Amino acid sequence: MNPLPEYTTQQLALRNGQDREEIWCAYQGVIYDVSESRLWRQGRHYEHWAGQDLTRELVDAPHTEKVFSRFTPVGKLKS
């Protein structure tokens, strides 16, 4: 299995559902492709925006981090 490629926060920000077709979000250093989710259309999910690290925002979410198991990891966020 190949290691996941690394992306900067600037590269992640371009995958916001507006600038490119991909809709990506990061959580705990892993970037997930949420493009297939109907809940992320136009790069927005309630008050959350794609193309960002959502680690801190998940604290206020009504679901747990298990939600990310539904999505494909596409990369790692460069620290």
User: Does residue 72 belong to any structural domain of this protein?
Assistant: yes
Question: Per residue in 7-22, pLDDT tens?
Answer: 999 999 999 998 788 9
pLDDT higher for 37 or 48?
Answer: 37
Distance spanning both ends of the chain, measured CA to CA: 22
What CA–CA distance (Å, rounded) separates 31 from 33? 7
In a domain, 1, yes or no: no
* pLDDT given at position 43: 82
Reduce the DSSP state of residue 37 to 3 states and report it.
coil
Is residue 56 situated within a structural domain? yes
Domain extent for 69: 6-77
Half-sphere exposure in the Cβ direction for 55 (13 Å, CA): 8
CATH of the domain at 40: 3.10.120.10
Angle at 41 between CA 79 and CA 24, to 5 degrees: 15
User: Model's pTM, two decimal places?
Assistant: 0.87
pLDDT tens across 23-47, in order?
999 999 999 999 998 888 888 777 7
Structural domain includes residue 66:
yes
Counted domains in the chain: 1
Q: Does 27 reside within a domain?
A: yes
